[in-house]
Amino acid sequence: GAGVSQSPSNKVTEKGKDVELRCDPISGHTALYWYRQSLGQGLEFLIYFQGNSAPDKSGLPSDRFSAERTGGSVSTLTIQRTQQEDSAVYLCASSPAGGQGLSGANVLTFGAGSRLTVL
Amino acid sequence: DQQVKQNSPSLSVQEGRISILNCDYTNSMFDYFLWYKKYPAEGPTFLISISSIKDKNEDGRFTVFLNKSAKHLSLHIVPSQPGDSAVYFCAASETYKYIFGTGTRLKVLA
């Protein structure tokens, strides 16, 4: 697609339920990132994919969080047994490659985000 | 440990004047620095970048300055326009990873 697409745009769930957030990156982009932005906070790195593998999962806050990417394209972020502190905007970004190139900065293109509210 | 800091949560500037947004970092291994702009209910959009081997990069009304010895970068917007009102994030990267600051909300007054 023309841009990074995320769904749902808004999700309200009850504490303890599982949620899945989906990201459709720009076609051909091999690198995919998940970030989250809690109220009043900056963008917090969660996980990085290069192709289908995730060489860096260091930002996932707990083992309730997991993510996968299939076919080098769509990614799903799953949060199990949601807690109120999971409430945030979850942002997905993609880029042509995972590292900086000779041509300049490897720019991330972000989706509009999925706003998660846990009651 | 916050590696990228934006110490001013908000800034108000009169239309036509210069806006200066600041960012400090702690990791001397960062090799690229980027600025993003974010409107409500939208994802951040890329504005301008600078490599660690340069000290200035200009793109239209936007100029980014990098002071490596002080581990400080700034974004200058001149002249500021009401449409520039948004939250601005600086980001620093080392290889694939991007670390973002907490953002500065810019309000340009007409």
pLDDT band at A33 (very low <50, low <70, confident <90, very high): very high
Please name the residues between 53 and 72 in chain B that touch chain A, using a CB distance below 8 Å. none
Environment class of B16 (CB within 10 Å of its CB; exposed 0-12, middle 13-18, buried 19+)? exposed
Q: Please check whether residue A112 touches B, CB under 8 A.
A: yes
- Whole-number Å distance between alpha carbons of B81 and B17: 8
Per-residue pLDDT of chain B (110 residues; tens, 9 = 90+): 689 999 999 999 999 999 999 999 999 999 899 999 999 989 999 999 999 999 999 999 999 999 999 999 999 999 999 999 999 999 999 888 899 999 999 999 99
User: What is the span of the domain harbouring residue B18?
Assistant: 4-109
Per the structure, the count of domains in chain B is: 1
Using CB atoms, which residue from B44, B46, B102 is nearest to A41?
B102
Parse chain A into domains and list their residue ranges: 5-100+111-115
Kindly report the CATH number assigned to the domain that includes residue B11.
2.60.40.10
Q: What percent of chain A has pLDDT over 70?
A: 92
Which of A55 and A16 is assigned the larger pLDDT?
A16
What local confidence, expressed as pLDDT, does residue B43 receive?
A: 94
A77: tokens are 């972020």
Beta carbons of A56 and B43 less than 8 Å apart: no
Beta bridge partners of B94: B97
Beta carbons of A112 and B89 less than 8 Å apart: no
CATH number assigned to the domain covering A5-100+111-115: 2.60.40.10
What local confidence, expressed as pLDDT, does residue A2 receive?
A: 79
Q: Please check whether residue B5 touches A, CB under 8 A.
A: no
Q: Is the pLDDT of residue A19 over 80?
A: yes
